[in-house]
Amino acid sequence: MGETILSDEYATIEDLCAALGVTRRTLDRWHAMRAGPPRTVIGRTILYRRQAIKRWLLDREEELGCARTRGSRGSTGALRA
């Protein structure tokens, strides 16, 4: 029964890696840089609250046309003064 409660509300690091298509090392690096989703640590178990993951993803959402591209110096754009 406890397993169902946890799996409904929390994702494991393996679940999150699979969902985002990244490695555990990437999640660890994001955590060290304070750039990843918030996590809960109980002993050696790392869990991610599903609502926190959704909020973290929404915070990274970009509007179409607002993203900057690399190497676009000198290109025409709406931001010219």
Q: For the chain, count helices (H), then strands (E).
A: 4, 3
Q: How many domains does the chain have?
A: 1
Residue 65 lies inside a defined structural domain of this protein:
no
Residue 78 lies inside a defined structural domain of this protein:
no
pLDDT tens digits, residue range 36-58?
A: 999 999 999 999 999 999 999 99
CA 55, CA 52: separation in Å to the nearest integer? 5
Domain of 40, in residue numbers? 2-59
Looking at beta carbons, which pairs linking 66-69 to residues 24 or more positions away fall under 8 Å? none
Residue 23 lies inside a defined structural domain of this protein:
yes
Residue 33 lies inside a defined structural domain of this protein:
yes
**pLDDT at residue 71, as a whole number:** 55
Token code pair at residue 31: 């955590």
User: Which residue is associated with the tokens 């750039």?
Assistant: 35
**pLDDT at residue 24, as a whole number:** 97
Residue 71 lies inside a defined structural domain of this protein:
no
Residue 76 lies inside a defined structural domain of this protein:
no
Question: Which residue would you say has higher pLDDT here, 42 or 78?
Answer: 42
CATH code where residue 7 lies:
1.10.10
Question: Which residue would you say has higher pLDDT here, 68 or 63?
Answer: 63
Three-state SS at 26: helix
Question: Which residue would you say has higher pLDDT here, 12 or 4?
Answer: 12
Phi, psi angle pair for 66, to nearest 5°: -95, -15
Residue 14 lies inside a defined structural domain of this protein:
yes
Amino acid letter at 58?
Answer: L
Residue 69 lies inside a defined structural domain of this protein:
no
